[in-house]
Structure 1
């Protein structure tokens, strides 16, 4: 064991994850609605600002960081060796990278060159992904491996036949997609967590190192010189800083060896929040707030917001025990990957079937209301799929 963490699922973390996914579905849907206010849209890359929409992705990263210590220690408690743990981390990273690349390329399928309707290609990809990463409960393991093998074969075939853009582009990481970016940050955070053996001081140091790495990569001598290859990882370093902030908060709240309780816990979390806010404020003149550019000020302000939000949820759920309302979010919180891809499956299914929403649902207040309703419906659908035994796990 690396840290002596509280056992069992942490309801406040599941609630935070579920709420984040619900908001994610809403903001992804509302992005296609015209006539919505600017605070419901992503800030443009050349602007020095952020909206609540720009906090959704970092909230995912933050929750990944909160979950890493629990995941690593759980596997060690089950008897995983060092190398088996690394295999699991690499497998999960590869899964996120593959899913991210496929999802990013699904938007650019050239039907004529691929020999397949783009919506059909996307749906076959999602079906294959579900076969690979579904949690099976068969008594005979070979049945599970048959399903997984069929899914892997499907992904390989779809990757080979894929053509995008003008028909000449093959499947590849033009960008890694949201899940791919999470995958890189997850990998780096896991390495750092093990390297520093869950030491809070070491993790705090590495948050500063990640921010410093981004700053170094912004220097013209690095970007345009022989060290330009370093800049390819500057965004991943910034994203890793957010993951590490989530990891640090988990240690403060749930590492029993640290013994942070009552006023001591409040002062430690408040101190972390103040440090991050001051750092974000001091960095902003040099690095404007920009999600597109993954600037340090955006990373740190986002992490500060996540710290405040989770702390409120922890107080409400784990201290005051006001938790009945969280039941609505539990299916999404415990099955985040399926919840994340489900809206895309619905979208491509409607596209393939030729079903279009009424024009009024694509603009203004009716469009906003529809997107909110759609997000809620997706959570109910996930709950039903869970009962049918469809649950994805990387």
Structure 2
């Protein structure tokens, strides 16, 4: 029998740590659109600390883990954390299960449409692709929402079931040409892409990633319910950190058996990245909600309050045309730093301008949501 959507009533105060975590993740995502990370990976910064940062802000080629590989799990996990709070707010306003379900279904469909729409815009034609975060999130969000009616043990069990199902399909799939589980473009996920879209991703990504990474959004829901409970604040932090550290250790330990591969979201990757999600949330909750550190986190919060808008804005060429506005001036003012240095300064100014747009929206109480 299904349990109530939120087992424990929410505390009235807003979870500021979630706003910070979301904002930091989105700030990093919009930074990518400025091409700053790409510039830092260039020859001019080779062998420097900035060059090292640049490479950490790029996905690992295949087996391994860079910091940038955690950003999409962060995003999907954060969505899950927010669901119990959003549902509780709607229930307080009088919404029942039918209304909540229709809202979730509509939101899932809109995310899918927006995800596919971005591919159409970038290609300049109708284009059916399912690899970006919005298309993936449309699936993981709905799965996590439907499961949140059940106890945490059931939710976690379902998430592990999805991970094990994915592992089994990759290892046991016997279709010739797609029977090598951990080889790029020769695995079960690639077969699914050929079935759904008739093509493969140039970066070896697979749409089937939405299935195992549903665990990130499910774990986010469970973490949100935990933070919404009446448990002691210190206990909340310790549980999040303890589970996160255990997951990181387990994921790394699995690497010799099932390699950590972000591009096909292997079970070891899902577990290790999920662990980092829990650790980051735990540290954010401790610093922002328990210790009351608000000044620096507030800088990022402005971005997180309009996360969908700024994501779509940046992925439809906004950073490129803002770069065109700044470039004549920044390349003149910073010519002394060389072409790569001037390009890096330009990207920094574009990044700040994108933040400024989010700040302006926040100050004018404009929040674009679905």
Same fold, judged at TM 0.5 (above): yes
Describe the shift of the 1:49–1:321 C-alpha distance in structure 2 as closer, same or farther (beyond 3 A): same
- Aligned-partner SS, 2:256: coil
Structure 1 segment 84-99 matched on structure 2, within 5 A = 84-99=99-114
1:192 aligns with 2:166: no
Describe the shift of the 1:391–1:319 C-alpha distance in structure 2 as closer, same or farther (beyond 3 A): closer
Aligned to 1:378: 354
- What CA RMSD, in Å, does the superposition of the two structures yield over aligned residues? 3.1
Deviation at residue 18 of structure 1 after TM alignment: 0.7
Deviation at residue 190 of structure 1 after TM alignment: 0.8
Deviation at residue 32 of structure 1 after TM alignment: 4.4
Deviation at residue 20 of structure 1 after TM alignment: 0.9
Structure 1 segment 289-328 matched on structure 2, within 5 A = 289-328=260-299
Aligned to 2:29: 24
Q: 2:19 aligns with which of 8, 14, 21?
A: 14
- Partners of 1:242 and 1:310 lie apart in 2 by 13
Describe the shift of the 1:255–1:105 C-alpha distance in structure 2 as closer, same or farther (beyond 3 A): same
- Partners of 2:169 and 2:229 lie apart in 1 by 34
Does the CA-based 8 Å contact 1:68-1:190 persist in structure 2? yes
Aligned to 1:73: 88
Q: 2:223 aligns with which of 249, 256, 264?
A: 249
- Partners of 1:175 and 1:346 lie apart in 2 by 22
Describe the shift of the 1:250–1:372 C-alpha distance in structure 2 as closer, same or farther (beyond 3 A): farther
Describe the shift of the 1:57–1:280 C-alpha distance in structure 2 as closer, same or farther (beyond 3 A): same
Deviation at residue 240 of structure 1 after TM alignment: 0.7
- Partners of 2:233 and 2:146 lie apart in 1 by 28
Deviation at residue 100 of structure 1 after TM alignment: 0.8
Deviation at residue 245 of structure 1 after TM alignment: 2.1
CA deviation map 1:287-310 (0-9, x unaligned): 322221122222222222222222
- Could you state the TM-score of these two structures normalised by the residue count of structure 2? 0.77
CA deviation map 1:140-190 (0-9, x unaligned): xxxxxxxxxxxxxxxxxxxxxxx3xxxxxxx24223422111221111111
Does the CA-based 8 Å contact 2:322-2:350 persist in structure 1? no
Aligned to 1:239: 213
Aligned to 1:112: none
Aligned to 1:103: 118
- Could you state the TM-score of these two structures normalised by the residue count of structure 1? 0.73
Aligned to 1:208: 160
Aligned to 2:181: none
Q: 2:79 aligns with which of 43, 60, 64?
A: 64
- Partners of 2:174 and 2:101 lie apart in 1 by 32
Describe the shift of the 1:358–1:328 C-alpha distance in structure 2 as closer, same or farther (beyond 3 A): same
Deviation at residue 349 of structure 1 after TM alignment: 4.3
- Aligned-partner SS, 1:238: coil
CA deviation map 1:91-115 (0-9, x unaligned): 1111111111111222211xxxxxx
Deviation at residue 280 of structure 1 after TM alignment: 0.8
Deviation at residue 364 of structure 1 after TM alignment: 4.5
Aligned to 1:160: none
Q: 2:58 aligns with which of 27, 42, 45?
A: 42
Consecutive unaligned residues in structure 2, runs of 5 or more: 46-50, 179-187, 194-206
Aligned to 1:122: none
Q: 1:2 aligns with which of 1, 5, 23?
A: 5
Query: Using CA pairs below 8 Å that are at least 6 residues apart, which structure has the higher relative contact order?
Result: 1
1:217 aligns with 2:222: no
Does the CA-based 8 Å contact 2:112-2:138 persist in structure 1? yes
Aligned to 1:282: 253
